[in-house]
Amino acid sequence: MWSLLLIYGLINSAIILLQTIGFGLTFSISGIANFSYGALYILSGIITWLFLNYGFSLAISIVISILITSLGGFFIYWLVIYRIKGMPLSEVIITFSLGVAIIEFLRWKGFVTYEFNVSPILKGSIFIGNVPVDLQRVIIFFSAFLLLVALYLFSHYTKIGLALRGLSQNEQTALCFGINTELLSSVSVMLGAGICALSANLILPLGIISMDSGYDVLLVAIAVTVVGGLGSSTGLLLASLIFGYIQTATTIFLSSKWMMVIYLFSIIAVLMIKPSGILGRFKEIEERI
């Protein structure tokens, strides 16, 4: 029982981290809350499924789906968000309705039955101690780890990454140093969408592609970003660990329908008590009187 909790808690944390990191990245870099995130998640799964059905191999389908979704993020920025930037609520309303439009459109097109699933990269399972873990979950765990390392290296040692960090710290100053902030904001949305697509392709094989999971993913992303603290990557990691273990514990000891209740409760409670999150230091004065 306890080893089950330990191992699956860790894996669930990795899943949550993967689901969240794209949203958190975009939000912390450019301050854009991309509420169409859940829709992009579902969309990339559907794209992979479509290409698999056209007879492409899994690897190619995944790459194509990531590319298309990133491009989608890029265009969402320039066609929609760019025109209303600086009005956070309009951004939220517009990206949210975009997300709803995408998800409901897919639902209307009939992508709702159990046949819509993405096949896992590796089938089969291994035993860790006496707990059976399927290989897809192992892959998810290691790719979450690799993604973190890659993002660290990207943001600390490449020119674009450093510019992105500059943008996240202060937009005006970044502009003074000759950083094209508009372009980089669009890059941040694109990066978020790309990571979202990657996580979708890794995580969706665990179940079927259901449209409601689009809303759930958005909710998880918001929950973790908010609880962890906006703009804090350590907080993101910590919050995913907390939520991963809470999720596993509720599934083992209670029932899975309590999971969403706990998510929602924690978002509401944290936002009401400490809107900047566990580890967030920024914006404390701005958001509260």
Partner 1 sequence: MNTLNTLNTVNIAKRKERIDRAIKARCNDIYTLLSLKEISYVIAPKLCLILFIFIFPLLKAILGYYWERVFYITCLIAILAISWELLSYVGLVSLGQAFVFGTGAYISGIFNINFHIPVPFSILLASGFGALICTLILFPASKIKGIYFAMITLCIPMFFSKVIEATEIFGGTSGISGISPIGNYYVEMYFPALVLIGAFFCLRRLMSTDFGLLIIGIKDNEFSLMSSGINIYKIKFFVIFLSSALGCFSGACMCHYYQFVGISAFSLDYSIIPLACSILGGIDGFSGSLIGAFVVCPLSEMLRGFGTLRIVIYSVLLIMFILLVPEGIFSYISRKYHQIERWKEI
Which spans of this chain sit near partner 1 (rule: CB under 8 A)? 33, 80, 83-84, 88-90, 92-94, 96-98, 100-101, 104-105, 107-108, 219, 222, 226, 255, 257-258, 260-261, 264-265, 267-268, 271-272, 275, 287-289
- Biggest CA–CA distance in the chain, Å, is 58
Least separation in angstroms between CB 75 and partner 1: 13
Beta carbon nearer to partner 1, 159 or 288: 288
Least separation in angstroms between CB 225 and partner 1: 10
At 51, is the secondary structure helix, strand, or coil?
Answer: helix
Q: How far apart are CA 170 and CA 164, in angstroms?
A: 10
Do 102 and 193 form a contact (C-beta atoms < 8 A)? no
Q: Point out which residues pair with 125 in neighbouring strands.
A: 134
Beta carbon nearer to partner 1, 75 or 258: 258
What are the tokens at 155?
A: 């943001």
Q: How far apart are CA 202 and CA 65, in angstroms?
A: 12
Least separation in angstroms between CB 53 and partner 1: 23
Least separation in angstroms between CB 186 and partner 1: 17
> What are the backbone angles phi and psi of residue 125, rounded to the nearest 5°?
-145, 160
Do 75 and 14 form a contact (C-beta atoms < 8 A)? no
At 152, is the secondary structure helix, strand, or coil?
Answer: helix
**C-alpha torsion 114→261→137→214, nearest 10:** 50
Beta carbon nearer to partner 1, 107 or 165: 107
Beta carbon nearer to partner 1, 200 or 211: 211
Please state, in angstroms and as integers, the Cα–Cα distance from residue 218 to each residue in 24, 90, 161, 222, 268, following that order.
11, 18, 25, 6, 15
Beta carbon nearer to partner 1, 130 or 255: 255
Q: Tell me the one-letter amino acid at 37.
A: Y
Least separation in angstroms between CB 50 and partner 1: 19
Beta carbon nearer to partner 1, 193 or 230: 230
Beta carbon nearer to partner 1, 14 or 39: 39
At 119, is the secondary structure helix, strand, or coil?
Answer: coil
Least separation in angstroms between CB 171 and partner 1: 17
Least separation in angstroms between CB 263 and partner 1: 9
Beta carbon nearer to partner 1, 108 or 152: 108
The single residue listed with the structure tokens 């599934």 is 251
What are the tokens at 177?
A: 């140093």
Instruction: Indicate the helix (H) or strand (E) that contains 131.
Output: strand 131-134
Least separation in angstroms between CB 89 and partner 1: 5
